[in-house]
Structures are given as structure tokens and as C-alpha cells.
Amino acid sequence: MSNDIRVLIVDDHPVVREGVRTLLSTISGLEVVGAAKDGAEGVEMAERLIPDVVLMDLFMPEMDGVEAIRQVLARCPRSAVLVLSGTSGDQKIYEAVREGALGYLSKDAEPDDFGRAIRQVHRGEPFLSPELTRKLISSRSEPMVPQEALTPREVEILGFVSQGWDDDRIANELHVAKVTVRTHVKNILDKLGLGNRVEAALYALRQGLAQLEEN
């Protein structure tokens, strides 16, 4: 039985769909299981194919990417979503993160970035493209809960989360049980009013608790 990461592409532009499909076919360990032309078809195909990772465009007819992400993750909670974004629409990207997207990647990213991003979100780790991360950090101006709301251990774990570490790696680093890390991450998200690890990473970057690394 193949251990390849099963990928579904959702994009309304045929050239992009076929281009990404061709690119991914050259990357070892990835298998494209389908390509949908809009959000509605993407939701239907995701429910039927149960992909490991969904590459989701945001601006599409019939159903946009944000709504498609919400529906895909409601029906296929074990799938990970990676947003494929152009150079604009920062608000849409933020909305996608709020709905559960684990990462975002520019459509003009280098080929190697595609494989790295897909593998990273498949492991449950955020993938933060430096250019888009800078835009998201600067575009959000809402008040934030001060970091003093967190315990020293929670601040430490938040730093690891901002680096894209998964629970296993954090647990090994701190010599604690994985369930302990999960509890800390849940408490961090609850205290800060955040929806997921990507938002937590952005919070850490805005607060100066982590530094943006160049990929």
C-alpha cells in the first residue's frame, strides 16, 4: 500500500490546475488524486476521495475558497488545507486561516516550496511563507491579549509552535508527554482567543516572541 501523500488541487484556472498537477507529479512521495474546478466541486471531491492535503485557491466562482475550506474540514477533519494564493487578498488569506487552513503558499513560489509546504501541513505543522506572513502581520491591527496571560511554559511552547514544530517534536524537546503539549496548546489558543496554530504563530511573531525565518 502506497504511503504517498494524497493531494487534491482546487483551482478555477485550468492552466494553474494542470501546471500544479504536473509539478507535483515530479515530486517523490506525492500523489495527485484529483483536481477540482471550483469550491463546490472541491468539497464534493474531498468528501469522496478523502485526500491528505487539499491545495485550495481562494477566489473562485460558485463557492469561494474560504467557504470551501470550512466545508471540507467539517466533512474531512483529517485532511489538511494549504492555501494557494496570488499576491493580493491578504484579508481572504486571514479568513482562510481562521477557517482552519494550516498554511499558505504563493502560486509563484519555487517548485521546492510546494513539496516542503505539502509535507509540513501533512504533519500538522503550519507553513508560513515569509512574504505573505509579513503582509498578514502588518495587516492585522485588532487588539491582542497580552502575553502576560500565558504562563512561562506556555510562552515557551508558543515559541516552538511559531517555528512549525509538531506536538511530538515539542514533547521530545521538553521531555513531557504528547498529551501535555496538546493541553498547553489548547490553553494557549483559548487564552488568546485564537482558532489554530497558524494564528498562534502569527501572534508570536507580532509580539516579538519569535522571529520570521527565511525559507
What range defines the domain where residue 100 resides? 5-139
Does 212 fall in a domain? no
Does 215 fall in a domain? no
* Whether 22 and 125 share a structural domain: yes
CATH number reported for the structural domain that contains residue 199 in this entry: 1.10.10.10
Does 214 fall in a domain? no
From first to last of its 215 residues, what are the pLDDT tens digits of the chain? 568 999 999 999 999 999 999 999 999 999 999 999 999 999 999 999 999 999 999 988 889 999 999 999 999 999 999 998 775 556 788 888 888 899 888 888 888 889 999 998 998 888 876 666 777 777 655 556 666 788 999 999 998 988 878 888 999 999 999 999 999 999 999 988 887 888 888 888 888 777 766 54
**Number of structural domains, the chain?**
2
The DSSP result for the chain, as a single string, is ---PEEEEEE-S-HHHHHHHHHHHHTSTTEEEEEEESSHHHHHHHHHHH--SEEEEESS-SSS-HHHHHHHHHHH-TT-EEEEEE-S--HHHHHHHHHHT--EEEETT--HHHHHHHHHHHHTT--EE-HHHHHHHHHH--S----GGGS-HHHHHHHHHHHTT--HHHHHHHHT--HHHHHHHHHHHHHHHT--SHHHHHHHHHHTTSS-PPP-
